[in-house]
Structure 1
């Protein structure tokens, strides 16, 4: 009995609880990752590099396939009450981002968006090589995804706008540009926050499943800006739909869906690096 009491006493003191479990970081260390080199020639000879590009292609293909089909389904109905409606479209975009980021995060980082890749490039988290490669693969995937949707019903696709992003009547091009900038800022800022190693170490009591807040951010931005631009915040998504739909009106507004997301991503990267990353890290 004496030995048993001694074991219990030693066991209780072996792992002293510094703070209540679940209220603060315990002994979690944090090491600042070095900036990624601007150009990494070694990537070009690595299978993981090409595998990541394939993952981005497939993810963006599936993203356009599901989301544009959802848009076509809502457009086909004579009453939005009979379909998923605008809220359903927003859920389709947000839900697919959640699922696809979850599936591809360990392979390519789960960008599925040139604006996200551009923001991470500005933050020195991806190389220029990977930036260009990802954007090409994302755009190709988006074109193929929209093309498959059109193949299901060319007449319906063309008559309902093909899911292409345009500035809707009642709004100016400036309104559309502003909506794209702010919407992309929300998305890319969420990406930085959800994947920040410093924040995860400092706030380890908050279990963060990164794809969840990212997908939810996409959902909320779509709810807010579908009436304005149809919500781009993803140049590959806008390009794929525009190329397959190939309407003059869509091309007139198309620059907004590249300039807006890239400006929004740049602002999010700047804000995160200057403001958020400047918060001192204190390990418990």
Structure 2
């Protein structure tokens, strides 16, 4: 253990913080204690002929299916009671979303990367962590899994009861403007995607050997905290597949009136998080040649 701590300390100290802005994260190629993964190709035809490509998509489908099933069913259990004291309440909903992300990222990270969210996939695509074909395939499978997960909940609850309880569909709550809802979705998704980048960063993994093992924990915790903050505002989307699946199965005006917010907000948040991590934190565009 002492040897491991010494290795980590020496590895961390190889990188001086006293460097010009925009070069600290990438300028010391010699003596690196980590390997920077090469950028993913924009499109690779051979990928479409690989079983691993489709296996990853199936994993994303199943993970998103289970995610919607557990979380929407939890929401239904809270909404159906007259008083939140008889249920797990808002905190319980937040734990259901965060806990499921923790578990599912842990289960699927080695197969597909454990995105379970089109916004996360979009952010990682912008950072060239995966190809365009894989990104589109992941998003399609995530949305399909979300629809099936919400559909199973509706089958359990019954059409009438499911409709009366709101179907877990996202909407801007009374007392908040659409601008406030959009802002909440942007900031919430930024927190999530920024956490994903930080928890899976190759450089940080080299300095802290336990980071790859614990990566699902901060990601799930970020989802939990964002839900605590934004459930009163929008019900918390930060995941277009989750919002789409619930809206399609619920299929009423309430689920569609503000639906654009739950796509535009998360994608803007993911874009900002990708730019912040790549440009500011890692200084990728300023890398010394």
Q: State TM-score, norm by structure 2.
A: 0.87
How far residue 21 of structure 1 moved from its aligned partner, in angstroms, is: 6.7
How far residue 31 of structure 1 moved from its aligned partner, in angstroms, is: 2.0
What secondary structure does 2:11 align onto?
A: coil
* Match of residue 233, structure 1, among 230, 233, 238: 238
* Match of residue 148, structure 1, among 126, 144, 152: 152
| Kept after mapping to 1: 8 A contact 2:102/2:216 | yes
* CA distance in 1: counterparts of 2:207 and 2:122, whole angstroms: 26
Matched residue, 1:250: 255
Query: Does 2:48 align with 1:62?
Result: no
The gaps in structure 2 that reach 5 residues or longer are 13-30
Matched residue, 2:185: 180
Q: Write the deviation string for residues 226-281 of structure 1: whole angstroms up to 9, x where unpaired.
A: 00000000000000000000011221100000000000000000000001112999
Matched residue, 2:98: 94
What secondary structure does 1:103 align onto?
A: helix
| Kept after mapping to 1: 8 A contact 2:188/2:238 | yes
Q: Write the deviation string for residues 149-205 of structure 1: whole angstroms up to 9, x where unpaired.
A: 001122221001100000000000000000000000000000000000112213447
| Kept after mapping to 2: 8 A contact 1:22/1:205 | no
Query: Does 2:85 align with 1:85?
Result: no
Distance 1:30 1:74, change over 3 A: same
How far residue 208 of structure 1 moved from its aligned partner, in angstroms, is: 5.5
Matched residue pairs, number?
266
| Kept after mapping to 2: 8 A contact 1:25/1:204 | no
Rg larger in structure: 1
* CA distance in 2: counterparts of 1:65 and 1:228, whole angstroms: 22
* CA distance in 2: counterparts of 1:18 and 1:148, whole angstroms: 48
Query: Does 2:107 align with 1:121?
Result: no
* CA distance in 2: counterparts of 1:205 and 1:254, whole angstroms: 39
Q: State TM-score, norm by structure 1.
A: 0.89
Matched residue, 1:4: none
How far residue 63 of structure 1 moved from its aligned partner, in angstroms, is: 0.2
Matched residue, 2:11: 25
* CA distance in 2: counterparts of 1:18 and 1:38, whole angstroms: 38
What secondary structure does 2:167 align onto?
A: helix
* CA distance in 1: counterparts of 2:82 and 2:193, whole angstroms: 36
**Dislocated runs of 4+, deviation >6 Å:** none
* CA distance in 2: counterparts of 1:173 and 1:210, whole angstroms: 33
* CA distance in 1: counterparts of 2:194 and 2:213, whole angstroms: 15
* CA distance in 2: counterparts of 1:224 and 1:118, whole angstroms: 23
Further displaced range: 214-223 or 18-27: 18-27
Further displaced range: 163-172 or 28-37: 28-37
* Match of residue 212, structure 1, among 209, 217, 220: 217
What secondary structure does 1:174 align onto?
A: helix
* CA distance in 1: counterparts of 2:167 and 2:33, whole angstroms: 49
How far residue 207 of structure 1 moved from its aligned partner, in angstroms, is: 7.3
| Kept after mapping to 1: 8 A contact 2:199/2:212 | no
For residues 196-207 of structure 1, what are the structure 2 equivalents within 5 Å? 196-204=201-209
